[in-house]
Structure 1
Amino acid sequence: MSGSSPTESSPDGVDLRLPLLQPDCAASTKKVERLCIDDMLQKHCGEFGRWQLRHFVLTSMAWALEAFHTMVVIFADREPAWRCSVGSADGCSAGVQSVCQLEPGSWEWVGGAGSSTVAEFGLICGQKYKIGLVQALFFAGCMIGAGVFGHLSDSRLGRKGSLLVVCILNAIFGFITALSPNYWTYAVLRILTGFSTGGVGLCAFVLATEPVGPTKRGVAGMSTFYFFSGGIAILSGIAYIFRTWRALYIASSIPSVLFLIIVLPFVSESPRWCLIRGKMGRAMKTMCEIAKMNGKNLPAGVILALDLETNESKTEQESKEAVTGSLLDVLRSPVTRIRLFLAVAINFLCSIVYYGLSLNVVNLGTNLYLNVFLNAVAEMPAFLITAVLLDRFGRKPLSIGTQWFSGAFCIVGALLNGYGIWKTVRMVCGILGIFGMAGTYNLLFIYTIELFPTVIRNAALGCATQAAQMGAILAPFIVVFGGGIPFLVFGVSGIVGGMLAFYLPETLHRPLYDTMAGMEEGERFALMS
């Protein structure tokens, strides 16, 4: 419906099509102007003012909750130090390197059986694989949860409603996990926690970035990673205070409850979701609040409309082409088929390295709490550097360079024996490996989006995300090997990922295509020029 069509009026002469607005956004007799959300933000409300900053920070705090529930296993599932039992010197040699070589009863865990799940459930020697299994099951739950809550956040629950549900489930499953009587109950509860955790970052990312204007959205989206790394750093402090695994699960779940009570009530639902669900009045109310807090003026008579409704020159056939596409279309085109294979492979390899290095700190023999904190802190400058250099050097060189940087230091770490001073050097190699791969993660999301046209972008991005989850599932099993093997695997993965990135096209200053035909024509033109 265009702005020139006849209006419906009440007996008092009020235009019934206009939403109920705040006093400062009241309707007037001016001609109605229909704008999409991006245009309204740019022209009248502000792209990233005080309202968006406040909303972004509050919403992105949920990423710290995801970090708590994801990385808590580093401390809860660690293998504690052990010592010879009193009066058992004959059966406990100081020269042995593993308790598997000792007689039962001749040794004991430092801190007692309740210090970790490994000590309490006996996850050593032949049962050590169960550590990697439970961590892999968590990431499998994340993969399922991301799909389920991704759908619910687009449909009936909305972004804020889905975030509310996943935080409630996270708190419940986290508290119950602390009561696990045996390993298999613990494993099932970690799957359920992964299911809810998989929706936290997804819902928080969309909810935080959708009210941001188009020219600021990329930087805002990349900044969400700071909250995840900050959550890991805070978790190391929580784990240092709560030394038993049951107390740690309770302590790391309390922030989810605090977020629900203190933060979430002050978070607004996405106006984009309200608009597509037909909640025009609610969407306009949010836009008025944005304009008011940003010190802007939303003129009377300006209302929201969907993108297609604001483009009256677009034909019905063009509209259909703009919204049609599937994964089959990705696979049919030689251009997008190759890009999809490369994007899936790179996301898979990067995830192995990132999560593998994060979990591998338990094998380094250094101060676990300090090591986790330093890894988290090392990620933050990587995010900043990537954001600064992204538009200067391009996506492709940065993708190659960050992966090779990470891979090179992982290879060096694999060559060290892990004793004496070399133990500290290996820890530094791990920190630098995290630094490089965090930079890759920061740009890979944007790079993947730019490689595919609008009609198939979500399908391609979904495949890449699923591949990253598969890499996260595999990473814990690699960590279980210990020694230099994990570093070797991570190093090779980083090097191979960088080599694959050589075959991707550069997307800097290239148009963001909407259709398959437009992208293929653009690629032909680029090859000819």
Structure 2
Amino acid sequence: MSAEKNSEAVVEKLSIDEMLQKHCGEFGKWQLKHFVLTNLAWTFYAFHIMVMPFADRIPEWRCVGRDCEGGGSVCELSPGEWEWVGGRSGSTVSEWGLICGDKFKVGLVQSIFFAGCMIGAGIFGHLSDSFLGRKGSLTVACALNGIFGCITAFSPNYWIYTILRFLTGFSSGGVGLCAFVLATEPIGPTKRGSAGMSTFYFFSSGIALVSLVAYIFQMWRHLYIAASIPSLLYVFIVIPFLSESPRWYLVRGRITEATQIMALIASSNGRHLPSGVFLALEEESSTNDEEEEEEFLMEDKVAQIGSIVDVIRFPMTRTRLLVAIVLNFVGSLVYYGISLNVVNLKTNLYMNVALNAIAEMPAFGITAVLLERYGRKPLTIGTMWFSGFFCLLGSLTKNVGIWKIVRMVCGILGVFGMAGTYNLLFIYTAELFPTVVRNAALGCTNQAAEMGAILAPIVVVLGGWLPFAVFAVSGIVGGAFAFLLPETHNQPLYDTFAGLVAASV
């Protein structure tokens, strides 16, 4: 009888965060390997986005007629008086004549790509929370990315090219959010912020690397194949070595699979998972009243099929979602807007894109350090206002003489600040919502971000001081909205609505 009592005494129900902290390790060898392999998807995701400035570039042209004068506009010349340097196959612009009256088609393709990302983010966000899971959704998204990217290289005309770019954008919308959640969910609460901030080093590295790939493969059709094959290789070579998120298993009621992964994490980290320890949702691990526990479990059955409708239905998560939508929209608008404005500097395209990617990296490191010291909320406000301030200065400077350099520096500092915000928002948004709807919420906020990306080229076309003014207002307003959010620093990742609500009481 005493033996039975002793055995009952050692039985312990722990949430995933508690188990990581007590027995498995918050960030050991297993998490490091899983984190790196998962986030390689971000590198190849960047290929599909940043391939556009190179494939859709305007090549150099030269005069062939006696009366032709170089340095002007080809729109003022007859077709036989000029020709593309290197032939027509260098870019989509030269091959399909996307100049003069058809110049808008270049921007249209870019906007349609981001429209595809917006739709894909919502759909893959739901699929990864439901039956496909995090790993399954990432597999499908990367496979479609590679397939559509390769097929794009064989586009017979502009409109087929546009459709294929939309489909590539659709699959791209699922890569970033699925990779981020899959990489960070098995990490302990005190290490999750710093690790999450490191995610975007993979993205920036992808931007820098695609510049090299584009320099080697300067024909746009060859470039699309070279930029798409890595996504296919990732599906067959890397993804088989990834594990599904134990949190997804837990909220789906698959406790055995979740426990097996937690035991694997512990053993890989040189630790041991005691036999008397069991996984449970947060509210199960913290409640002792049988009736209360049964009530929570009934709520969990509903929560396992959670969707964006459930996020909106609860007042607490509804407010968080609306604020997160605003922050992601303005963050994306400013980030992509300033990045696109750099093209107007008329510098070497390959070096310019690479240097911009490298310039973003210090923002990620600095933000990661400050994140653990000051928390998510103050840093979101600070980085947005930092970017908004320098955009405001940029709008007040004239684009002549020495002031051109001042405006360029303002743009660099503006994108520096917003790069930190853009990175931080993934972590902050993920921590604001429970596991059962985390990817659905991220999918919704990603859709808002893609809407900002769609709008960015339109703002840039305004020219003069207006783009910087729009970016300044966006950054300042975004920082003000962040005051409405709670702080999530060192807080557990709640698995259900019940756990989230119970913690706020």
TM-score range, shorter chain: 0.7 to 0.9
- 2:66 aligned residue: 89
Is 1:225 matched up with 2:200?
A: yes
Give the partner amino acid of 1:42: Q
Matched, 1:79 2:58: yes
Q: Which has the higher contact order (CA 8 A, sep 6+)?
A: 2
Shift of 1:285: 2.9
The structure number with the bigger radius of gyration is 1
Once the 2 structures are TM-superposed, how far is the Cα of residue 116 of structure 1 from its aligned partner? 1.4
Q: Are 2:387 and 1:406 equivalent residues in the alignment?
A: yes
User: Which structure shows the bigger proportion of residues in helix conformation?
Assistant: 2
Q: 1:507 maps to which residue?
A: 487
2:455 maps to what in 1?
474
Q: What secondary structure does 1:89 align onto?
A: coil
Match of 1:439 in 2: 420
For residues 185 and 362 of structure 1, the distance between their equivalents in structure 2, rounded to whole angstroms, comes to 26
Partner secondary structure for residue 80 of structure 2: coil
Q: Which stretch shows the higher mean deviation, 153-162 or 199-208?
A: 153-162
Aligned to 1:145: 120
Which structure 1 segments of 5+ residues have no match?
6-27, 523-529
Amino acid at match of 1:357: I
String of CA shifts for 1:396-437, please: whole Å, max 9, x gaps: 543343223323444455566767876665544433222111
SS in 1 for 2:62: strand
Change (3 A) 1:116 1:202: same
Give the secondary-structure state (helix, strand or coil) at the position aligned to 2:274. coil
Residues 193, 368 of structure 2: 8 Å contact kept: no
Deviation at 1:288, TM superposition (A): 2.4
Residue identity in the other structure for 1:286: I
Partner in structure 2 of residue 274 of structure 1 = 249
Is the alpha carbon distance of 1:482 and 1:177 closer, same or farther for their aligned partners in structure 2, counting shifts above 3 Å?
farther
TM-score by length of 1: 0.81
Instruction: Check the 8 A contact 2:124/2:443 in 1, yes or no.
Output: no
- For 2:359, give the aligned amino acid: A
Is 1:193 the counterpart of 2:135? The answer is no
Give the direction of change, closer, same or farther, for the CA distance of 1:308–1:505 in structure 2 (3 Å limit): closer
Matches within 5 A, 1:481-496: 481=462, 485-496=466-477
Deviations 1:164-216 (A, max 9, x none): 11111111101100111111101100111011111111211121112112222
Aligned residue identity for 1:89: R
Query: What does residue 138 of structure 2 align with?
Result: 163
Task: Give per-residue Cα distances to partners, 1:209-257, cap 9 Å, x unaligned.
Answer: 1211222222222221111111111111111211121111111112112
Matching residue within 90, 106, 129 for 1:115: 90
Query: Structure 1 384/171 Cα, relative in aligned 2: closer, same or farther at 3 Å?
Result: same
Q: Distance in 1 between matches of 2:401 and 2:347?
A: 10
Residue in structure 2 matching 1:380, options 350, 361, 376? 361
Instruction: Give the CA deviation at 1:463.
Output: 4.5
1:478 to 1:394, Cα distance in 2 relative to 1, 3 A? same
Whole-angstrom distance in 2 between the partners of 1:517 and 1:251:
45
**Matching residue of 1:60:** 39
Letter in 2 for 1:507: E
Report SS of the residue matched to 2:83.
strand
Q: Return 5+ residue gaps in structure 2 as ranges.
A: none
* Cα-Cα RMSD: 3.6
**1:133 touches 1:476 (CA, 8 Å); kept in 2?**
no
Pairing partner for 1:127 from 83, 97, 102: 102
Question: TM-score with structure 2 length normalisation?
Answer: 0.85
Q: 1:171 to 1:321 in 2, by over 3 A?
A: closer
CA contact (8 A) 1:330 1:456 kept: no
TM-superposed CA distance for 1:495, in Å, is 3.7
Residues 67 and 231 in structure 1, CA contact (< 8 A), matched pair in contact too: yes
Residue matched to 2:352: 371
1:390 aligns with 2:371: yes
How far, CA to CA, are the matches of 1:134 and 1:228 in structure 2? 22
Q: Secondary structure at the match of 1:163?
A: helix
Match of 1:183 among 151, 158, 162: 158
Report the Cα offset of residue 445 of structure 1: 3.7
Question: In the comparison of the two structures, how many residue pairs are matched?
Answer: 491
Q: Distance in 2 between matches of 1:520 and 1:166?
A: 34
Going from structure 1 to structure 2, the CA distance change for 1:481 and 1:521 (only over 3 Å counts) comes to closer
| Distance across 1 between alignment mates of 2:268 and 2:260 | 12
User: Within 2, Cα distance between the matches of 1:145 and 1:52?
Assistant: 28
Query: Which secondary structure state, in structure 1, belongs to the residue aligned with residue 156 of structure 2?
Result: coil
- Provide the C-alpha distance between the structure 2 equivalents of 1:347 and 1:354, rounded to a whole number of angstroms: 10
Structure 2 Cα separation of the partners of residues 510 and 484 of structure 1: 41
* Identity over aligned pairs, percent: 66
Counterpart residue type for residue 63 of structure 2: C
TM-superposition CA deviations, 1:469-509 (whole Å, max 9, x none): 211121133344556554443344334434544x5366377
Distance 1:134 1:258, change over 3 A: same
**In 2: Cα distance, 1:320 partner to 1:308 partner:** 12
Q: Conserved in 1, the CA contact under 8 Å of 2:121 and 2:447?
A: no
Q: Distance in 2 between matches of 1:201 and 1:521?
A: 30
SS in 2 for 1:78: coil
Distance in 2 (CA, whole Å) between partners of 1:57 and 1:453 is 24
- On the 8 A contact 2:115/2:166 being kept in 1, the answer is yes
Q: Distance in 2 between matches of 1:270 and 1:509?
A: 21
1:247 to 222, 243, 252: 222
Local SS of the residue matching 2:75: helix
